[in-house]
Structure 1
């Protein structure tokens, strides 16, 4: 359909087909080396689970990471290595899973993430910092809608949507909508750009070498919310998240609300 290529990433990234295998190997190695509490339930469905990794000693708070995959692919086990940076900075990291389209709708996934954050907030003290990539960036941005969030919203100290999908109306013109089942009203209701401007600090992160549509989506959110948009030169959709593997990266610093080393 009209906008399929605009939102296609892999075909436009050199070696794009190989990134999933690289991430899977890194994630498995991280889980083998770092003890975590895996597959903690936040609901009754098999994918309503999260993994929790905690630093030695008292944690400064909890970073919640929500993976991408266009709401219809991947799971938390592909991204575990991205906990490394915040963990090394003294933060717990919760890696959240959720059901996928077309088995559920995007509004249902939004509610799942809200439920997950609620369980995590009830179980672990301290401030919450939310981050997610691509569709995960959309989902953490949705958590700032007062109609979605619970009382835990007062504990959210910052949000970093990475390459977020902030306006879902363009997806009405993609073949992916066969899985999403969006109509005009639902696409608008699920678009963070139409939410109330949050009082929580937000920094949008995006790669300078991403598809123009993703640069647009990031800038639309920045304009709608009046928040900072960081464009990292040379980074594409698959390596923009790599900074989360490193304690000293600017991205990790932004996520945990501290200055880079």
Structure 2
């Protein structure tokens, strides 16, 4: 599956104004109906969280957001999708993404949605450490809550970055990153860095495009109508991994933007649900 390669604004990054750099990563402004999509997502998640069989607010660490919501399948050995929420590591919460549970749960899967602390309260280093701690907790305590099958991690936007950063965790069978951010260098030059305060060390150690390839299955999905910087982070990471012989597909989804793409993980027959199912075949 191929898609036209957009022009990369980062090729002329030094010549861009601050507002142009900010716009290169501003998904909300790029998607004109994003307020409506976000409002519907949040309302649907509240209904799902209140109605589905679940074990909510389980602590995996000491900070307030270090909690995980579990939606166990009927079979404890069923595969489990662990989903990391987005928000550029500085907004949103696990509760706002419960609407994604039903699509994969219709196929007999469990779902786990961990929360994590947000910038500026913590650094991105801490956020990545917390995501690994959540997986440690799930490995140790998931079975007592009916979640003991193979784990596929998924995540959207900043959560897609966490998928790549935790791919080497021993609990993880494979990953499905959606609209991820994989090079932090340009992020430091945008308004997003006011909260993140990225250091040189973090850019080097927490940018998947600057790290050794992990030889584990990682599918990289993005909407064909997304901002070029996000499209290219996925295509560039896939090319890097492909050159190293690492398994995984590039999944450009026609007609989708940064927000609408999540519909493909909500529907039981959605393209991203199908992609996840294939990761444990």
Q: TM-score range by the shorter chain?
A: over 0.9
Q: Indicate whether 1:136 and 2:159 are aligned.
A: yes
Q: Indicate whether 1:245 and 2:263 are aligned.
A: no
What TM-score results when the alignment is normalised by the length of structure 2?
0.86
* Residue segments in structure 1 that go unaligned for 5+ positions in a row: none
Q: Indicate whether 1:122 and 2:140 are aligned.
A: yes
Residue 49 of structure 2 corresponds to which residue in structure 1? 31
SS for the counterpart of 2:261 is coil
* Aligned-pair Cα RMSD in Å: 1.7
C-alpha offsets along residues 191-228 of structure 1, whole Å, 9 cap, x if unaligned?
01122212211110000000111101111211221242
Q: Indicate whether 1:102 and 2:123 are aligned.
A: no
CA gap 1:140/1:129 in 2 versus in 1, 3 angstroms: same
Out of 188, 194, 199, the residue aligned to residue 172 of structure 1 is 188
SS for the counterpart of 2:202 is helix
Note the C-alpha offset of 1:112. Answer: 0.2
Could you tell which deviates more after superposition, 163-172 or 178-187? 178-187
Residue 3 of structure 1 corresponds to which residue in structure 2? 21
**Structure 2: how far apart are the matches of 1:69 and 1:168?**
15
How many positions carry a matched residue from both structures?
Answer: 253
* Contact 1:121–1:128 (Cα < 8 Å) also in 2: no
* Contact 2:73–2:110 (Cα < 8 Å) also in 1: yes
**Structure 2: how far apart are the matches of 1:247 and 1:169?**
37
Q: How does 1:54-133 map to 2 (within 5 A)?
A: 54-124=72-142, 125-133=148-156
Instruction: Compare CA radii of gyration and give the structure with the larger one.
Output: 2
Residue 178 of structure 2 corresponds to which residue in structure 1? 162
**Structure 1: how far apart are the matches of 2:27 and 2:191?**
15
Note the C-alpha offset of 1:171. Answer: 0.8
SS for the counterpart of 2:116 is coil
What TM-score results when the alignment is normalised by the length of structure 1?
0.92
CA gap 1:258/1:115 in 2 versus in 1, 3 angstroms: closer
**Structure 2: how far apart are the matches of 1:31 and 1:172?**
35
* Contact 1:158–1:257 (Cα < 8 Å) also in 2: no
* Contact 1:62–1:127 (Cα < 8 Å) also in 2: yes
